[in-house]
Structure 1
Amino acid sequence: MKACHFCGREQPPGERVYRSSTCAGCGKDLKICRNCRFYSAGAHWDCLETIHDPVADKERANFCEFFQFRDSQPGEKGQGQGGQLKPAKARDDFRKLFGGD
C-alpha cells in the first residue's frame, strides 16, 4: 500500500504519481524522497539509487526518474526514513526475534 509520508493517508492503488501529484488528505507533494522506496538516510545523497545530483529538500516534489512509492500502511506517517525504526519498535522486534522480557 502507498501512504502519504506527512499524514499517512492511503493513496489510490495503481494511480501514477507525478511531480505535481498531491495528497488528497493534506495537500502535500507526493513525489518526494521521503515517499520513495529508495530513500535511505545516511546513504550517498540519502538515496539507494545512483543519482547524479543531490535533492536538496527531501520533502518537496522533485524530478527524480528513479522514484517508486514505498510500501507502507495507511495511517503510518513519517516512516519514510530508509527503514529506520523507532527505538521502541526496534526493541520489540528484537525481543520477538530473540526472546526475552
Structure 2
Amino acid sequence: MKRCHNCGAEWVSEKRQPGAKEYCEDCAAYLHCCLNCRFHDKYAPNECRIPNTEGVSDRAGANFCDEFEFARTEPRPQSDKAERRAHEAFDALFGGGASEGAKGAEDSDRLLGE
C-alpha cells in the first residue's frame, strides 16, 4: 500500500504517483518527497539508492525528482494505543496518575515530618 510517511494514512488515487505539491489528506505532509520514495535509504550517499542524485536538504519537503516512486509500506502499529495501555498498566501497578503522585509526595512529607 502507498502510505504517508508521516501519519501512515493510505494514499488512494487513480494516478500512479502523487503530484509534486500533493499532500496527505490526514496530516498535510507532502507525499512526493524523499521519505515516501522507495529509493530513500538513510545509509546511502545523499540518502538515495539512485547514484548521482542531487542532494536534498528537506527529506520531508516536496520535490520534483523524476526518479520518485512511491514506496509500498505496511500499516504502522498503533503506537498511541500501545502507549495508552502501558500508561494504564503503570497506573494500575503503582496506583494512579500524576494527581495521585502529587498527593503521594504530600503524604510522604507528612510522614517524614517535613
TM surpasses 0.5: yes
- 2:8 matched to which residue of 1? 8
Q: TM-score, normalised by structure 2?
A: 0.61
CA RMSD of aligned residues (A): 1.9
- 1:18 matched to which residue of 2? 19
Query: Which amino acid is the alignment partner of residue 67 of structure 1?
Result: F
Number of residue pairs aligned between Structure 1 and Structure 2: 77
State the distance in 2 between where 1:17 and 1:76 align.
Answer: 24
Asked which structure has the greater CA Rg, the reply is 2
Contact preservation (8 Å) 1:37, 1:67? yes
C-alpha change, 1:21 and 1:51, in structure 2 (3 Å) is farther
Q: TM-score, normalised by structure 1?
A: 0.69
- Higher percent of residues as helix: 2
State, as a whole percentage, how many aligned pairs show the same letter: 34
State the distance in 1 between where 2:69 and 2:77 align.
Answer: 17
The gaps in structure 1 that reach 5 residues or longer are: 78-101
